[in-house]
Amino acid sequence: MSDAPLSGRIALVTGASRGIGAATARALAAAGAHVILVARNARDLETVEQAIHDAGGTATIAPCDLAEPEAIGRLATAITARWAALDILVINAAVLPVLTPVWQIEPVDFNRGLLLNVSATQALIACFHAALRKSRQARVIGVTSSVGGAPRAYWGAYGATKAAFDNLLDAYAQEVRGISEIRVAIVDPGATRTAMRAKAYPGEDPARVKSPEVVGARIAALAGEDFASPHRERVESPA
């Protein structure tokens, strides 16, 4: 894959064991990147890793619970000891709190969403910022949701976490764009056939929404593009 558009680049994808994360990892590897696969379930990561290897790509699994306070720091230490720079960081891992009226939100459930969707995002940026600075064309791509910017009844807990997620990434983009090569994109995947989508819309026919591969392909393409930072876009279904 020496002539592939992302050849020689190191990419890290969170939530890479399934859905959009797995599809993005496969697409990045197909474009030539070496992909570090991050999620809690090692067995599922091994399945994605094998699919990448079978297709001629390369990947490394890094099982990690991003909700564990010290885990992201340990992950960054291990990765930076092996690779001099990080070229692509895809922040995809997220949890969907129970859909319920705001006055019925359970604090434990809400705090779990804040921890993984918000606090872990800040920790990823903090721990990998130095490695991103060492890249000649660093890209940070966050996977968001439309409810972060357009509140919706019963989605208050998740929407609040995604609003904070968007704010963190946008602020980071503004902070680094004049002093580094880091570019930040915030991508709304739109309706996509994932386990999270099935949980939120249990009666929906999954065939009526696009596959994760559509989103993964767009994220991989964006990782190789030049764009004004912060960049925002929504991935629409194929015509």
pLDDT by residue (tens digit) across 188-228? 999 999 999 999 999 999 989 999 999 999 999 999 999 99
Q: Read off the pLDDT band of 237 (50, 70, 90).
A: confident
**Residue 215 counted as domain residue:** yes
> Which SS3 state, helix, strand or coil, does residue 39 take?
strand
Query: How much of the chain is in helix, strand and coil states, percent to nearest 5?
Result: 45, 15, 35
**Residue 46 counted as domain residue:** yes
> Structural domain tally of the chain?
1
Here the tokens at position 169 are 């990434």
Q: Using CA atoms, how far apart are residues 8 and 80, in angstroms rounded to an integer? A: 16
Q: Using CA atoms, how far apart are residues 62 and 48, in angstroms rounded to an integer? A: 12
**pLDDT value of residue 238:** 86
Which position has the token pair 């989508």? 197
Q: What is the pLDDT of residues 97-118, one digit of tens each?
A: 999 999 999 999 999 999 999 9
Residue type, position 45, single letter = L
Residues designated as active site: 158
Structural domain including 111 reads 10-234
**Residue 3 counted as domain residue:** no
Which position has the token pair 């929407």? 159
All residues at 6 or more sequence positions from 24 whose CB lies less than 8 Å from its CB, including other chains: 13, 16, 90, 92, 212, 215, 216, 219, 220
**Residue 4 counted as domain residue:** no
> Which SS3 state, helix, strand or coil, does residue 146 take?
helix
What percent of the chain lies above the pLDDT cut of 90?
95
Q: Using CA atoms, how far apart are residues 6 and 181, in angstroms rounded to an integer? A: 16
**pLDDT value of residue 1:** 53
**Residue 124 counted as domain residue:** yes
Q: How far is CA 177 from the centre of its chain?
A: 20
**Residue 50 counted as domain residue:** yes
Helix residue ranges, H only, the chain: 19-30, 42-54, 71-82, 107-114, 120-133, 156-176, 195-200, 212-223
**pLDDT value of residue 2:** 57
Q: Is this structure's pTM higher than 0.95?
A: yes
Which position has the token pair 């680094």? 176
**Residue 167 counted as domain residue:** yes
**pLDDT value of residue 3:** 74
**pLDDT value of residue 69:** 81
The CATH number for 96's domain is 3.40.50.720
pLDDT averaged over every residue in the chain? 96
**Residue 195 counted as domain residue:** yes
Q: What is the pLDDT of residues 125-135, one digit of tens each?
A: 999 999 999 99
**pLDDT value of residue 142:** 98
Q: What is the pLDDT of residues 146-192, one digit of tens each?
A: 999 999 999 999 999 999 999 999 999 999 999 999 999 999 999 99
**pLDDT value of residue 5:** 95
Helix residue ranges, H only, 17-155: 19-30, 42-54, 71-82, 107-114, 120-133
Task: Name which of 95, 97, 133, 138 is nearest 9 in CA terms.
Answer: 138
> What is the widest separation between alpha-carbon atoms in the chain?
55
